[in-house]
């Protein structure tokens, strides 16, 4: 009986050993295959966007700020898109081209995202508007809107010049700080020949007026509407790093100085009085 039990135990031990050996061999084969597969994967460098690139950005601007917008990542070659750029040198070669859409973080930087300025259409100069903002569109001459060098996604200061009303003097002041530009439209688009990157031969200014859309809160929208209705509006480039203006309006005496303004007024009055006196004297002589 004991011999039979010993035999059964020996058989069971042998079976377990064989099963364990089989599992070990299977595991080793699997590990080896996985290592071979990993060794066979070809990696390739690619430029990946890490900070949103606004629509209408030039390749030159992006290349100049490559450390901000881009990073070189190693990805499996099969995951790299056919027209993806691998280094900044490729981007620098695209002088004069602009992005057709905003490029978001995580995207590979593609050659197909860049086109000549002449191919940028009106609907590519806009960005998605945050849900909590109202949008207002108004027309401005290029000289009142940074010479037409205005892009969606930029932030601007809105300056209003208001005429005198009654005893209230004419004033100028910044009514809005860092207003978000959400869309820009031009009556006339550039041709490729009109676009220049040579600082000694600058591009032509846009012809006609610009339609500018700003995204604002409700109160700021009211301020803008008042300025447009009862005054004249200018836009000034005001990036996030720029300081905000104070709320004090600027009047004539602020430019000339109170004393100078008074002197000017006095001189005018004196001149008028002198003219009147001369005129009266002349009349008397005529009568004589």
192-227 pLDDT tens trace: 444 444 444 445 556 678 889 999 999 999 999 999
Neighbours of 180 (CB within 10 A): 18
Question: Structural domain of residue 60, as residue ranges?
Answer: 43-120
Is residue 34 one of the residues assigned to a domain?
A: no
Same domain, 128 and 245: yes
How far apart are alpha carbons 261 and 19 in whole angstroms? 105
Which residues, in sequence order, are CB contacts of 73 under 8 Å at separation 6+?
45, 46, 47, 48
Pairwise CA distance, residues 47 & 106, whole Å = 10
- In the 8-state DSSP scheme, what is residue 243? P
**Residue 113 sits in the same domain as residue 134:** no
In a domain, 14, yes or no: no
**Residue 231 maps to a domain:** yes
Q: Do 128 and 116 share a structural domain?
A: no
Which tens digit of pLDDT belongs to each residue from 65-87?
Answer: 999 999 999 999 999 999 999 99
**In this structure, is residue 274 part of a structural domain?**
no
- The 8-class DSSP code of residue 120 comes to -
Residue 69's CB is within 10 A of a number of other CB atoms, namely: 22
> Same structural domain for residues 102 and 156?
no
Q: Let me know whether 72 and 101 are in one domain.
A: yes
pTM assigned to the model: 0.47
Rg (CA), the chain: 36
Write down which residue in 73, 100, 120 finishes a domain: 120
Looking at the structure of the chain, the number of domains it has is 2
Same domain for 179 and 243, yes or no, is yes
Residues 106 and 162 in one domain: no
Torsion (CA) 14, 17, 18, 24 in degrees, nearest 10: 180
Q: What is the pLDDT of residue 273?
A: 46
Whether 173 and 244 share a structural domain = yes
Helix (H) or strand (E) holding 186: strand 171-186
Last residue of a domain, one of 120, 135, 159: 120
Domain boundary among 54, 87, 120: 120
Cα distance between residue 61 and residue 114, in whole Å: 13
CB 179 within 8 A of CB 236: no
Q: What is the pLDDT of residues 165-197, one digit of tens each?
A: 888 888 999 999 999 998 888 765 554 444 444
Which residues make beta-bridge pairs with 71?
48
């Amino acid at each position: 009986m004991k011999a039979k039990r010993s035999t059964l135990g020996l058989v069971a031990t042998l079976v377990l050993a064989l099963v364990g050996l089989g599992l070990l061999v299977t595991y080793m084969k699997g590990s080896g295959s996985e290592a071979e597969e990993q060794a066979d994967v070809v990696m390739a460098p690619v430029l990946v966007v890490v900070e949103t690139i606004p629509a209408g950005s030039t390749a030159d601007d992006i290349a100049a700020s490559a450390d901000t917008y881009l990073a070189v990542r190693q990805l499996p070659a099969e995951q790299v898109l056919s027209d993806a750029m691998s280094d900044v040198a490729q981007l620098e070669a695209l002088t004069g081209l602009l992005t057709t859409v905003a490029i978001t973080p995580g995207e590979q930087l593609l050659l197909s995202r860049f086109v000549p300025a002449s191919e940028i259409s009106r609907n590519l100069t806009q960005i998605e508007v945050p849900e909590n903002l109202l949008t207002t569109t108004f027309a401005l001459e290029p000289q009142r809107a940074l010479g037409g060098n205005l892009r969606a996604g930029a932030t601007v200061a809105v300056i209003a010049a208001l005429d005198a009303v009654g005893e209230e003097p004419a004033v100028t002041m910044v009514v809005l700080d860092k207003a978000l530009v959400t869309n820009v439209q031009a009556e006339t688009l550039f041709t490729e020949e009109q676009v220049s990157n040579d600082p000694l031969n600058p591009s032509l200014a846009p012809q006609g007026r610009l339609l500018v859309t700003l995204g604002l809160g409700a109160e700021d929208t009211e301020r803008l509407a008042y300025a447009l209705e009862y005054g004249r509006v200018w836009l000034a480039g005001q990036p996030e790093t720029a300081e905000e203006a104070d709320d004090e309006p600027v009047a004539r005496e602020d430019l000339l100085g109170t004393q100078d303004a008074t002197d000017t007024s006095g001189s005018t009055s004196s001149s008028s009085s002198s003219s009147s006196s001369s005129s009266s004297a002349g009349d008397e002589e005529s009568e004589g």
